[in-house]
Structure 1
Amino acid sequence: MALSALSVPDALPLLNAVLRGGAAALLVLASAVFLRAPSSLPSRFGAALALCGILAALAGLPSIAILDPFDPLVALCSAACVPLFWLFTRAWFDDDFRPTWIDAAVGGSYPVLGLIISLQHEAPIAPLGLLDLLSSVGGAAFAVHALWLAWRSRNTDLVEPRRHARIGFIAIVSAIILILTGSEVAGRITGAIETSTLTGAIVLFAGALGLLIILVGLRHPDMFPAPAEAQANAPQPIAEPLDAGLEYTLDRLMTEERLYRDPDLTIGMIAARAGTAEYRVRRLINTGLGHRNVNAYLNGFRLREVSAALADRAQAEVPITTIALDAGFGSLSVFNRSFKAQFGETPSLYRKRVAAGGPSD
């Protein structure tokens, strides 16, 4: 049959196949970008997301009998895209993020729900049920939460390429998840499955293209954190000359005025107190002092104050929580994680060891 002789009903499946195949090819390239990046939590989550996205793109193609036994695996991986996006976003935009067992339980429950729904739907157009609605609402909730976290932390990010990628990343992925969810629900309600499937193919192709442009166009050594051993073995770039005047001003604001004690301190507030442009403060803290986000810079001063207080016998009766809050930590979980990462032990063990005559590091 000549291409010009194709009717609209005949052309739609072909167009769907082309778009989904193109989306899968683009996601293969995206997974290669993630896999070639320094091994880190966000790069691993990103690679897993891209690989599962390939199966999700191909899931909308016509069924092939010989591949039917793999349908549950495809359904599981397709549903896993949503929690993987949630984890990837949190890991990429928060260098201190470490998944907890709660994250694993919440994230793992969604693909299982998707698998159960897939196994229950034997008819080509299954009616919309309670589990389907739960899956749609849950997927939207994952997306909205991740995107809100990415937007909320934008001002503390000192890695310029990553900070600039946020707006495009947020817009593209939110569109993919919300439009796909909406079109699937609408298609199931109205019975217009072909239209829903084609809409999904268009969104997947456009979204995969946009994400690949972001990943390739904004490649930068600091886009993903490198492991400590890789940083030690990598050739050190030529450091930019420090702004000595601004460095002195920041040091005075932190050591004398103890500006870091404000838990709500922002890069804009620091720049205002220093009497300079925000971008100069960002550049000094990131490029000059080597911090990827402003919280890491501020927490260094906070931890020094806390460790000194814990080693002070005169403050032996002061609760650790009070010391942490007074130093500017707005979250005890962040304080405990940061302290253990810095000193290799919990604050209470540190205090006991120093009280027994051990070194205060």
Structure 2
Amino acid sequence: MDLTLTSLTADTAADIAPKPPGRIRAHWALTTGALACFILSQLLGARAGVWTTPLAIGGVAGCGFSWLFTRAVFDPAPRDARWSRIVVLVVFLTGVVMVLGDGLAAPILRMIQNTHALGSSTVLMLTFVEPFSGYGRDLSSTEKRFRIAYVALYGALMGSSVLAVNQPGAGSADRELAELVKTTCASLALLLCGAAVWFRARHPLAGPGGRRASRTSQAAEDADLARRITWLLREEQIHASPNLKVADLARRLGEPEYKVTRCITASLGFANFNQMVNTHRIARARQMLADPALRSRPILLIALDCGFGSIGPFNRAFKAGVGVTPRAFRGANLRDS
């Protein structure tokens, strides 16, 4: 019965594809529409006929919509900031006026063109900034790779499009090549947006309302990590390695070094990694020094067995932790045996 329920649950989960947040879906639709209009206008050219103007209007704010889409992908807020919508609205309206404003006076049209160019350049630059919003060590390695890849691919596409802008005096062959490059870049941008939606649906960001849950999850994660560290120290006695470093422990656990350090100081309560290791080394040394069977074993060898590299650091650490020297401790414990 349990196996059947598990199988049914797994099959049902496999059939239901995770959905990205509504904000991402909305901006994906706008960006896709703008890029599609641009691609069609490039492919059809004069053959677009009555659709020339609508396609031109549909594509004027592609950079603005792609910026809002990027913000939605990397910012878990449920809604856009009002100022960001205003910026994109200005880019869109000035672009529409440029398409329809053949009858405007030259100074006014030039001012509108400059405003549109400034707004478009601004949102293009902001698009490169968004993936680094909240970028820090708490992000998973998968999330970090995704953000870096997004910036790299977006930069490559935008750079290729800018280089493909028609230059004055360019021949027809050059212009055709430039149009082909821009169309190809827009098409690849569509794929990039689709890949970003797919990734975010499967790797959602924790929103502002999920901070408490994130803290609870982190506490549970730290508690589990503390148990694993303690097991390695007690059962496998990894502290017996004289050159043990926190990086070695992190690799053994398959965890980032900062998480291991945080667990040692927060969950386990030690001042630092060295204090934790020396505490276990001294505990082991006390057992060995009090063991009658090891009465004849030199203290230097016991120090080496416990992970100390030489007798000097062992003597200092032992006296600091126990209050007496190793020799005095051994003598007091083995006097009557």
Could you tell me the TM-score, scaled by structure 2's length?
Answer: 0.48
More RCO (CA 8 Å, sep 6+): 1
Name the TM-score, length of structure 1 as normaliser: 0.46
Computing the radius of gyration from Cα coordinates, the structure with the larger value is 2
